[in-house]
């Protein structure tokens, strides 16, 4: 069997799969995010390790004893700064932290070829601007930095003792020459770093280390190989068979992502589309990224007194598509695609005396769907053809939300067995590819289809006026657009 570990933002998930791809065991452990100042988002690296141990040990010991290889996936872009003894110097700065927006402008000016090298705009979510911020605002910390690791790679260090990363996760640092799949010396130098600060690079299906004997003993398994793994989106794609040119998925996690596999490096930074390496050799991908998706569901459930997300979905469904005038802009943490706006924040429009918890819930589902539709438009503007999207992540549990998203995008959604398992499944599959030396297209074939949601023409028509209002509203709430 094969173990996949996903270091998420809200928790760590561990999944064991059998050789036929079926899920044999799962474990979860929660994480919390610290926001000590506006725009800040941080986690303690030690919390990732404690949650990883808890999630793995929640799996049946008999299943753990059968594990032959481990893959790791994780939240991308997080800056984990280690000293000479490999101890964290400060809390990790996360992917949805927006403090380094000024440093993005400075990096772009310092390295005019940045977009050509990375295929991306410099954005506050990425890792390199975070280090530029630390260099400027916390020089006493920066001077002690000996290694910079991404979140999953800090967990790898604890597991194996190796400083290693994979291409898909490293592409999101803005230090990688994405076409060459190698570190860029020019971009490292622009943040005061060198290759000596970076982990070794591996493909996602390469063996990158071996589980340390003391960890193996604690987890009740052999000292098995640990593979490169992938960033959460690339690993999620592997889990549902998005491995060939043109395959596409929609991830409904804390953030919302549309992911398109490509056989060549095809950047489009002008529309804030991401172009990164995939977790398999000689493959790349394009992404539109929305910083708030399922996190909006948790937020509105909390402020309206819903007991949980299912209750919120029920309230929205009882209201129905476009039944209220309310419009929601889901920019609770800023936005990436297509606006690249770290300072914009969410808003409700058209509230009145008839607004209810149900119409607010419905407006939030619609607002996230409209933002995702914006991202799909940006991908299509880049020449990408998308005929359907496989759905993964916790948001995949709601068929009603799928109905709203499908109508907003005017695109079919395909729900696959195990899609809600997410990146941990893909990480386990990458381990299987490495250990069994099998064909990735066979091992990573799509799971069986459970249902397909086609866009309902009636819903498309109902949502069209609100979708137009949504698009018109962004310039009026954005400090960037208003010149502030």
Please answer whether residues 288 and 344 qualify as being in contact, where contact means their C-beta atoms are separated by less than 8 angstroms. Answer: no
d(CA 450, CA 446): 12
Q: Which of 177, 206, 232, 247 is catalytic?
A: 232
Please answer whether residues 267 and 115 qualify as being in contact, where contact means their C-beta atoms are separated by less than 8 angstroms. Answer: yes
d(CA 199, CA 103): 23
Q: Per-residue b/e over 299-311, b at no fewer than 16 CB within 10 Å?
A: ebbeebebeebee
Please answer whether residues 181 and 18 qualify as being in contact, where contact means their C-beta atoms are separated by less than 8 angstroms. Answer: no
d(CA 58, CA 73): 18
d(CA 358, CA 353): 13
- Specify the DSSP element, H or E, that contains 414: strand 413-416
Reply yes or no: is the peptide bond before residue 72 cis, omega within 30 of 0. Answer: no
Which one-letter DSSP state was computed for residue 397?
G
- As to burial, measured by CB atoms within 10 angstroms (0-12 exposed, 13-18 middle, 19+ buried), residue 469 is middle
232 as an active site residue: the answer is: yes
d(CA 205, CA 9): 23
For residue 120, the Cα-to-chain-centroid distance in whole angstroms is 16
In the chain, DSSP finds a helix count (H) and a strand count (E) of 18, 24
d(CA 87, CA 263): 39
Q: Provide the 10 A C-beta neighbour count for residue 40.
A: 16
d(CA 206, CA 199): 15
Phi, psi of 384 (to 5 degrees): -85, 135
d(CA 359, CA 437): 52
Phi, psi of 228 (to 5 degrees): -60, -45
Catalytic residues: 232
């Amino acid at each position: 069997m094969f173990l996949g570990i996903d270091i998420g933002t809200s928790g760590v998930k561990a999944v064991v799969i059998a050789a036929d791809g079926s899920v044999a065991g799962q474990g979860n452990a929660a994480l919390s995010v610290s926001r000590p100042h506006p725009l800040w988002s941080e986690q303690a690296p030690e919390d990732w390790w404690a949650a990883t141990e808890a999630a793995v040990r929640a799996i049946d010991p008999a299943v753990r004893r059968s594990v032959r290889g481990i893959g790791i996936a994780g939240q991308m872009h997080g800056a984990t700064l280690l000293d000479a003894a490999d101890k964290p110097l400060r809390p990790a700065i996360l992917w949805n932290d927006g403090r380094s927006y000024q440093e993005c402008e400075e990096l772009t000016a310092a390295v005019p070829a940045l977009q050509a090298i990375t295929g991306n705009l410099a954005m506050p979510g990425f890792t390199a601007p975070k280090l530029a911020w630390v260099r400027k605002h916390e020089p006493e910390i920066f001077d002690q930095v000996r290694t910079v690791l991404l979140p999953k790679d800090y967990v790898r260090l604890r597991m194996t003792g190796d400083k290693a990363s994979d291409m898909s996760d490293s592409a999101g640092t803005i230090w990688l020459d994405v076409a060459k799949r190698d570190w860029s010396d020019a971009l490292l130098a622009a943040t005061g770093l060198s290759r000596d600060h970076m982990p070794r690079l591996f493909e996602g299906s390469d063996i990158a280390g071996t589980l340390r004997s003391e960890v193996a003993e604690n987890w009740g398994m052999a000292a098995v190989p640990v593979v490169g793994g992938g960033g959460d989106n690339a690993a999620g794609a592997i889990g549902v068979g998005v491995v060939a040119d043109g395959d596409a998925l929609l991830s409904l996690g804390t953030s919302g992502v549309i992911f398109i596999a490509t056989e060549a490096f095809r950047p489009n930074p002008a529309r804030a589309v991401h172009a990164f390496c995939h977790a398999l050799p000689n493959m790349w991908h394009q992404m539109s990224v929305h910083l708030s998706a399922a996190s909006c569901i948790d937020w509105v459930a909390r402020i309206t007194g819903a007991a949980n997300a299912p209750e919120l979905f029920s309230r929205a469904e009882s209201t129905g598509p476009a039944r209220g005038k309310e419009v929601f802009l889901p920019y609770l943490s800023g936005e990436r695609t297509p606006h690249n706006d770290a300072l914009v924040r969410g808003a409700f429009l058209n509230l009145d005396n008839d607004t209810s918890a149900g119409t607010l819930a419905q407006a939030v589902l619609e607002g996230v769907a409209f933002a995702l539709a914006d991202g799909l438009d940006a991908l299509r503007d880049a020449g990408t053809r998308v005929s359907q999207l496989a759905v993964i992540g916790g948001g995949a549990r709601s068929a009603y939300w799928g109905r709203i998203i499908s109508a907003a995008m005017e695109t079919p959604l395909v729900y696959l067995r195990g899609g809600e398992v997410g990146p941990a499944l893909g990480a386990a599959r990458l381990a299987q590819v490495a250990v069994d030396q099998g064909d990735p297209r066979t091992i990573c074939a799509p799971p069986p289809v459970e249902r397909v949601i086609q866009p309902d023409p009636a819903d498309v028509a109902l949502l069209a006026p609100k979708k137009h209002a949504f698009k018109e509203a962004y310039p009026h709430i954005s400090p960037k657009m208003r010149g502030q």
